[in-house]
Amino acid sequence: MIDKPLVVRTSLLAGVILLVGAALSALFISPAFGGGILLGGVVGATTPLSWIWFLVTKKNKGFATMLLMTKLGLYGGLFYLFIGNNLVAPIAVFLGITAITTLYTIALYSSFSAPTEESR
């Protein structure tokens, strides 16, 4: 089962890493690169958080389809606005998505493989 404290801690850690990474990138590389990291982090966090919320609330398949279509529309709109108009660097968006998704994956897998109180 996915615990709420784990999701909150991981989300706070992801937010801090995302803001620090975007700020340092904007300062030392370029504002477009920093903005790309920020956009990628937001998109990267949306997917795990939406599916965690979906699993916890135990909604039906129709709701999952609606959630998927909404996310795809959001991603398409954000990518069109920011990447299509050359406001952010596409490689930075990729790096932001990869970093945040990896963080959520490691946190969730480590919680599944951690020993429980009964087995100690």
> What pLDDT score does 33 carry?
93
pTM here is 0.77
Residue 106 in tokens: 């490691």
> What pLDDT score does 24 carry?
92
Q: Which regions in the chain score pLDDT beneath 70?
A: 1-2, 112-120
pLDDT for 39-63, tens place per residue?
998 888 888 888 777 777 777 778 7
Count of C-beta atoms within a 10 Å radius of residue 67: 15
Is residue 96 in some structural domain? Answer: yes
Is residue 90 in some structural domain? Answer: yes
Is residue 12 in some structural domain? Answer: no
Domain range for residue 56?
29-110
> What pLDDT score does 29 carry?
92
Domain count, the chain: 1
> What pLDDT score does 27 carry?
92
Alpha-carbon gap, residue 33 to 49, rounded angstroms:
24
> What pLDDT score does 86 carry?
87
Is residue 14 in some structural domain? Answer: no
Is residue 3 in some structural domain? Answer: no
> What pLDDT score does 23 carry?
92
> What pLDDT score does 67 carry?
81
Q: How high does pLDDT run on average in the chain?
A: 83
Alpha-carbon gap, residue 25 to 36, rounded angstroms:
9
Is residue 85 in some structural domain? Answer: yes
Is residue 83 in some structural domain? Answer: yes
